[in-house]
Structure 1
Amino acid sequence: MTAGSIIDAKIERLARGGLPRVLDLFAGCGGLSLGFKAAGFEIAAAVEFDPDAAASHGANFHPGDERHAVARDITAITPEKFAAALELGPPGSAIDVLVGGPPCQAFARVGRSKLREVREHPEAFRFDPRAQLYIKYLEYVDAFKPLALLMENVPDALNHGGQNIAEETREVLEENGYIARYTLLNASFYGVPQMRERMILIAWRKELTDMVSFPQPSHFMELPPGYTGSRQVALKLLKGGDLNKKAPGYVEPPEPSSSLPAAITAQDALADLPKITKHLEGKLRRGARRFDELEKYPKAKLNAYAQLMRQWPGFENVQGVSDHVIRYLPRDWKLFSRLNPGDQYPQAHAHAVKMFEEALARLKAETGAVPRKGTKAWEALHASIVPPYDVGKFPNKWRKMEPDLPARTLMAHLGKDSYSHIHYDSAQARTISVREAARLQSFPDGFIFSGTMNPAFRQIGNAVPPLLAKAVATEMMSTLRSSLARRNDVIFRSAEAV
């Protein structure tokens, strides 16, 4: 079949009522997949390199079919071999929508001229690690011939070392039969209890439509300076000249109206979950945290967000959660209780120094003496209370969440530490649990994370928030349906004319 006939056959299938089939590349545990599934798409398959994340994706979207839980390296498996392994049929006919986003580092310094050579001369970059993931992404686009695609990435994709990756991607796609546009969307505007900014690029086959639209916000908040500032940094390259000439594919983000419901807060997202205080009672030990102990939901009046997290269609959960586990951080539990909402590391360090001084005062009151500064006893007491990090470096490495605001961006390094998201409840004096991180990303309570605590944190931190994905997917479904309706109307009118 020719490329044109393949595209026509896909359009015809959808026009007859078939569900649009999604292939998720760089899928992680499935944030994008979950959003698209909720919007009415069928999740046909996914490619994911990390074994734990691949196992999570398989467990949630293809339970019982181990083929979908296998980790695969996109640089080592061709589209044809991938399609054969999952019995999808010929790649060109297997899927309708391709979603995902190669890690931004893969694009660095590849350059516009090289991107344009990828289709004709892929061998030129076989040994260039900077380009491999991007080349493979385009290879899968070329092989699977999606009617539509979504690429997501960090805002810096608009200014990555002076390179506008999104614009260069748009140019390549439009040379190959697509219309593409991109923008920046903040998750808090779409019902996610987190201020997470993402670059979103949407492309459509020109046979379907010549318009690209982005979802209107459903919630309102005023982003703090750090987020508006980072957006301006990302846009700096675009703003350096005539925007329409410099970045014709960029679309200004839809702005939320103050008349919309307020953004979902951290307290909205977490308040109905069981409280965790075992660590304060000496009942928590160092070691791997497994998800083998069910914490039953407490009786509580549920807000709309909590209800959604428990009752998400296909991922319902009525009993409780088994991944409500936290890190073992005994030095800092008392310090966490002292912090005020919004405090970051400099404030935490100051609180710790005061706590150390209080400890010295108590020791003097009890024994009549204190160790001299610089002695081993002084150093040991100091180390048991005061964190060792320089207050001038990475001040936002620590942060106590504000209960009345969405959380700040969850990062992949949740897999190493959770200090960036200290629970707002001082009585619990801890960092967030795995399930709380999932709630802040808008993963429902019935969603399964494979592996132990650290891999689960990493999967969550790397994910696209499902509610943001659902908003984009819903907009894409609307575009698809209206395009198919227009096409059918044209066919009907043509038949009438005959």
Structure 2
Amino acid sequence: MNVIDLFAGAGGLSEGFRQEGYKVLAHVEMDKNACNTLRTREAFFYLKEQDQLEIYKQYLLKEIGRSELYKSIPSNILNKVIESEISNKSIKGIFAKIDGLLGNEKVDIIIGGPPCQAYSTAGISRDPNKMKDDPRNYFYRYYIRFLKEYNPKLFIFENVKGILTAKGGTIFESLKKSLSNAGYEMDYRVLNAKNFGVAQSRERVIIIGWRSDFHFNYPDFSNSVKSINIRELFKDLPKLHAGQKKEGQGQYLSVAKGNLKEIRDTNWDILTYHIARPNNQNDLQIYELVVDTWDKEDRGLKYNELPKDLITHKNSESFLDRYKMVQYDSCSHTIVAHISKDGHYYIHPDKKQNRSLSVREAARIQSFPDDFYFEDSRTAAFKQIGNAVPPLMAKKIARHLKAQIFN
């Protein structure tokens, strides 16, 4: 079944659908770093199909550059990534590019989630006008224009829970009405990634819609799968201190076993982006205290409980959980794009390592496979990871859709 991925980011949604055998025809994304990641992922899949994965491995080992990697890939594969903001000015041009990729094929499913900042709790709290005038409130209208243009059987629309209550619920009611006018029925659930085997508690609204002439019901996702815990998820990764990195072949501590094999293929032996950001001495002392408090008292350490010489923020009355540890023996709290700014909310649970999460650890928590490479920089990689839909969650949603369609 043919898929178009809108507002694609690094491609977490399309990664899951692809792993379930769907054919991704196009990704539309405006961020240049994410687009480079999508192109590199397309290169990975193409080379894997051609039994030429050694070229991809040479790239990861920095034996060849990105331009040389891309020379190995047909232009029609790389052109599946359409680097463009979706707007009134650009949308017809995007349609033309997709039409060129389609040929005689039709679009079966459209997936994607418009930018969520206008609906997110963090976004609303930072904006003096509570995001009421933010144009991103209405990006769903572009999504509907794609539905009208390509008339797919199904669509998957992902977003934060705030979309249900934005502007007193009027945004969501308008979305439902617009979908009905476009000829689509829909249903939604608030689903948690941890119930799909992802090592993270991450609640998101998943809207599934179907063309009115297409017989379909919202799948039953009630049979939850226990997620792998953080201890097991990190078990094969080498230890790091703040500012260190360990990459390349022969770096893994053990063979992937059990649920870890969904993240790292048994035969995969190139570790990338196991990079920990550097920290100043003040933060490292705080990290130690945060882990100590959890290990000894089974609770988080509040900012106003720190020794006075470690308190550097004027505000010690609110945001008291600004330093937070990822717990070893359960799943992580939600990974968000702010991890690209600092790692204070994602402190590693091993006090001896005394650091925040590496890029690869954050990617694993989001269920990206270890052969997935994020382009351009550590900061760009963290941002792409934080904004993504967990591929493992997407994969299991795609599996349920497929089962119902073929039944």
1:189-239 per-residue CA deviation (whole Å, 9 max, x = no partner) reads 1100000000000011232214222423332xxxxxxxxxxxxxxxxxxxx
Shift of 1:425: 0.7
Matching residue within 81, 85, 99 for 2:111: 99
% identity of equivalent residues: 31
Which residue does the alignment assign to 2:90?
Answer: 77
Following superposition, the deviation at residue 392 of structure 1 comes to 2.0
What is the TM-score with the length of structure 2 in the denominator?
0.80
- Alpha-carbon contact 1:106-1:134 (below 8 Å) kept: no
Whole-angstrom distance in 2 between the partners of 1:387 and 1:460: 29
SS at match of 1:199: strand
Taking the aligned partners of 1:105 and 1:326, their CA distance within structure 2 comes to 27
2:375 and 2:25 map into 1 onto residues whose CA distance is 20
Q: 1:436 to 1:317 in 2, by over 3 A?
A: farther
Matches within 5 A, 1:45-194: 45-62=26-43, 64=73, 65-75=77-87, 76-79=89-92, 81-84=94-97, 87-89=100-102, 94-104=106-116, 129-130=135-136, 133-163=139-169, 165-194=171-200
Q: What amino acid does structure 2 have at the position aligned with 1:263?
A: S
Tell me the alpha carbon deviations over residues 338-389 of structure 1, each in whole angstroms, 9 at most, x when there is no partner.
323365451x553444xxxxxxxxxxxxxxxxxxxxxxxxxxxx3xx44435
CA contact (8 A) 1:323 1:435 kept: yes
Are 2:18 and 1:31 aligned?
no
**What 5-or-longer segments of structure 2 have no aligned partner?**
45-72, 121-132
Task: Using the TM superposition, give the Cα deviation of residue 86 of structure 1 relative to its aligned residue in structure 2, in angstroms.
Answer: 7.1
Partner AA of 2:261 in structure 1: Q
Match of 2:259 among 280, 305, 322: 305
Q: Deviations over 1:392-419 (max 9, x none)?
A: 2222322011111110001111111111
1:470 equivalent to 2:395? Answer yes
Change in 2 beyond 3 A, CA 1:69/1:44: closer
CA–CA distance in structure 1, aligned partners of residues 199 and 151 of structure 2: 35
Tell whether 2:240 aligns with 1:276: yes
Is this contact kept in 2: 1:181–1:212, CA < 8 A? yes
SS of equivalent to 2:85: coil
Contact 1:34 1:470 in 2 (8 A): yes
Mapped to 2, the partners of 1:391 and 1:73 lie a distance apart of: 40
Partner SS state of residue 451, structure 1 = coil
**Which consecutive residues of structure 1, in runs of 5 or more, have no partner in the other structure?**
1-19, 109-126, 220-261, 354-381, 483-498
Residue 313 of structure 2 aligns to a residue whose secondary structure is coil
Query: Aligned-pair distance for 1:105?
Result: 5.1
* C-alpha distance in 1 between matches for 2:330 and 2:10: 26
State the match for 2:201 in structure 1.
Answer: 195
Change (3 A) 1:30 1:390: same
Correspondence for 1:443: 368
Aligned equivalents of 1:464, 1:304: Cα separation in 2: 23
Q: Distance in 1 between matches of 2:299 and 2:36?
A: 37
Aligned counterparts of 2:217 and 2:78: Cα–Cα separation in 1: 39
Residues 211 and 21 (structure 1), Cα distance of their counterparts in 2 relative to 1, 3 Å cut:
same
Deviation at 1:40, TM superposition (A): 1.9
| Residue identity matched to 1:99 | I
* Count of aligned pairs: 357
**In structure 2, distance between residues paired with 1:449 and 1:130:** 26
Structure 1 pair 409–77 and aligned structure 2 pair: CA distance change class (3 A) = same
Q: Please show how residues 379-390 of structure 1 align to structure 2 within 5 Å.
A: 382=309, 385-388=310-313, 390=315
- The Cα of 1:310 is off from its aligned counterpart by 1.2
What is the root-mean-square deviation of aligned Cα atoms in Å?
A: 2.7
- Rounded to whole Å, the distance in 2 between the matches of 1:275 and 1:29 is 27
Tell me the distance in 2 between the aligned counterparts of 1:415 and 1:41: 31
Kindly indicate whether the alpha-carbon contact (under 8 Å) linking 1:31 and 1:466 is maintained by their aligned counterparts in 2: yes
Q: 1:178 to 1:132 in 2, by over 3 A?
A: closer
Residues of 1 paired with 2:138 and 2:161: CA distance? Answer: 21
Query: Aligned partners of 1:301, 1:81: CA distance in 2, in Å?
Result: 44
Q: Find the aligned partners of 2:90 and 2:222 in 1 and give their Cα distance.
A: 38
Q: Does 1:422 align with 2:376?
A: no
1:264 deviation in Å? Answer: 2.1
d(CA) in 2 for partners of 1:202 and 1:299?
41
Query: Which entry has the higher C-alpha Rg, 1 or 2?
Result: 1
In 2, Cα distance between the equivalents of 1:133 and 1:62? Answer: 30
Distance in 1 of aligned mates of 2:43 and 2:215? 31
Secondary structure, counterpart of 1:162 in structure 2 = helix
Q: 1:204 to 1:412 in 2, by over 3 A?
A: same
Matched, 1:329 2:329: no
Q: Which amino acid aligns with 1:446?
A: D
For the pair 1:294 / 2:248, whether they are aligned, the reply is yes
Which shows bigger deviation, 40-49 or 455-464? 40-49
C-alpha contact (below 8 Å) 2:324/2:347 kept by paired residues: yes
